[in-house]
Structure 1
Amino acid sequence: MSEDNSPISAREAKRLFAGLKGAQGLLLAVSGGPDSVALMWLAARWHRSLSRGPRLTVVTIDHGLRPEAAREAREVKRLATGLGLPHRTVRWRGAKPKTGLPAAAREARYRLLVQAARLAGASHVLTAHTRDDQAETLLMRLVRGSGLAGLSAMARLTERDGVVLARPLLDVPKSQLIATLKRAKIGFADDPTNHDAAFTRPRLRALLPQLAAEGGDARSLARLAARLARANLAVEVLTDGAERFLRLRDRGDARQAGVRSFEASGFAALPEEVRLRILLRAINAFGHEGPAELGKVESLLAVLDQAIAASARAPANGRPALKQTLAGALISLAGGRIRIAPAPARRKGGSRVDKGGSWHRPFRDRAVRTP
Structure 2
Amino acid sequence: MAASDSVSSRAIAPEEVDRLFSGLGGYRKLAVAVSGGADSLALMVLLAEWRRRTPGAPELAILTVDHGLRPEAAAETEMVAELARAQWLECRILTWTGEKPLANRQAQAREARFALMTRALAEEGGDALILAHHLDDQAETFLLRLARGSGVYGLAAMAPVATREGIAILRPLLGVAKERLVASLAERGIAWCEDPSNADPAYARVRMRRLMSDLAAEGLTPQRLARTASRLSRAASALDCWLHDVLARHAEVHPAGPVRVPLSALQDLPEEVLLRLVSHLLTRVGAQAYPPRVEKLERLIGELAQAEGAQATLCGAVVRRTASALAVWREHGRVSPEPLRAQAPGSWVWDGRFAVSMTTLDRLEVLAFADARRRDGGVASLVPPAGWPAQAF
- Pick the TM interval, shorter chain: 0.7 to 0.9
| 1:77-115: CA deviation from partner (whole Å, max 9, x where unpaired) | 221111111112111111222222221111111221111
Cα distance in 1, alignment partners of residues 119 and 103 from structure 2: 25
Q: Percent identity over the alignment?
A: 40
Cα distance in 1, alignment partners of residues 288 and 224 from structure 2: 37
| 1:300-343: CA deviation from partner (whole Å, max 9, x where unpaired) | 21232343xxxxxxxxxxxx442333344333233243322344
Partner of 1:155: 159
Cα distance in 1, alignment partners of residues 92 and 254 from structure 2: 48
Partner of 2:259: 260
Q: SS at the partner of 1:158?
A: strand
Partner of 2:224: 220
Cα distance in 2, alignment partners of residues 255 and 124 from structure 1: 29
Query: Are residue 337 (structure 1) and residue 336 (structure 2) matched?
Result: no
1:283–1:327 Cα contact (<8 Å) kept: yes
Partner of 1:298: 298
Cα distance in 2, alignment partners of residues 40 and 208 from structure 1: 27
Partner of 2:353: none
Cα distance in 2, alignment partners of residues 304 and 200 from structure 1: 34
2:304–2:312 Cα contact (<8 Å) kept: no
Question: 2:32 is aligned with what amino acid?
Answer: L
Partner of 2:114: 110
Question: 1:242 is aligned with what amino acid?
Answer: V
Cα distance in 1, alignment partners of residues 44 and 333 from structure 2: 48
2:304–2:311 Cα contact (<8 Å) kept: no
TM-score, reference length from structure 1: 0.82
Say if 1:336 and 1:7 are closer, same or farther in 2 by CA, change over 3 A.
same
Partner of 1:5: 9
| 1:30-81: CA deviation from partner (whole Å, max 9, x where unpaired) | 1111111111111111111023321122121111111111111111122111
TM-score, reference length from structure 2: 0.77
Question: 2:321 is aligned with what amino acid?
Answer: L
Displacement after TM superposition at 1:17 (Å): 1.2
1:38–1:177 Cα contact (<8 Å) kept: yes
Partner of 1:132: 136
Cα distance in 1, alignment partners of residues 327 and 275 from structure 2: 15
Moved more, 21-30 or 32-41: 21-30
Partner of 2:146: 142
Displacement after TM superposition at 1:146 (Å): 1.6
Partner of 2:44: 40
Cα distance in 2, alignment partners of residues 232 and 289 from structure 1: 19
Cα distance in 2, alignment partners of residues 119 and 255 from structure 1: 32
Partner of 1:365: none
Query: Are residue 26 (structure 1) and residue 36 (structure 2) matched?
Result: no
Say if 1:338 and 1:217 are closer, same or farther in 2 by CA, change over 3 A.
same
Cα distance in 1, alignment partners of residues 27 and 225 from structure 2: 30
Query: Are residue 326 (structure 1) and residue 326 (structure 2) matched?
Result: no
Q: SS at the partner of 2:191?
A: coil
Say if 1:284 and 1:32 are closer, same or farther in 2 by CA, change over 3 A.
closer
Moved more, 321-330 or 66-75: 321-330
The correspondence of residues 171-182 of structure 1 with structure 2, limited to 5 A, is 171-182=175-186
Say if 1:4 and 1:135 are closer, same or farther in 2 by CA, change over 3 A.
farther
The correspondence of residues 162-201 of structure 1 with structure 2, limited to 5 A, is 162-201=166-205
Q: Which runs of 5 or more residues in structure 2 are unaligned?
A: 1-6, 336-379, 381-393
Cα distance in 2, alignment partners of residues 321 and 241 from structure 1: 26
The correspondence of residues 350-361 of structure 1 with structure 2, limited to 5 A, is none
Displacement after TM superposition at 1:292 (Å): 4.2
2:246–2:265 Cα contact (<8 Å) kept: no
Moved more, 13-22 or 200-209: 13-22
Tell me how large the CA RMSD over aligned residues is. 2.4
Displacement after TM superposition at 1:255 (Å): 5.4
Question: 1:284 is aligned with what amino acid?
Answer: T
2:11–2:187 Cα contact (<8 Å) kept: yes
Moved more, 93-102 or 56-65: 93-102
Displacement after TM superposition at 1:234 (Å): 0.4
Cα distance in 1, alignment partners of residues 14 and 134 from structure 2: 18
Partner of 1:358: none
| Count of matched residue positions in the alignment of Structure 1 and Structure 2 | 328
Query: Are residue 123 (structure 1) and residue 127 (structure 2) matched?
Result: yes
2:39–2:133 Cα contact (<8 Å) kept: yes
Displacement after TM superposition at 1:197 (Å): 0.5
Cα distance in 1, alignment partners of residues 216 and 286 from structure 2: 43
Question: 1:323 is aligned with what amino acid?
Answer: Q
Say if 1:78 and 1:297 are closer, same or farther in 2 by CA, change over 3 A.
same
Cα distance in 1, alignment partners of residues 314 and 166 from structure 2: 28
Cα distance in 2, alignment partners of residues 338 and 161 from structure 1: 25
Displacement after TM superposition at 1:137 (Å): 0.9
Displacement after TM superposition at 1:162 (Å): 4.1
Cα distance in 2, alignment partners of residues 289 and 216 from structure 1: 33
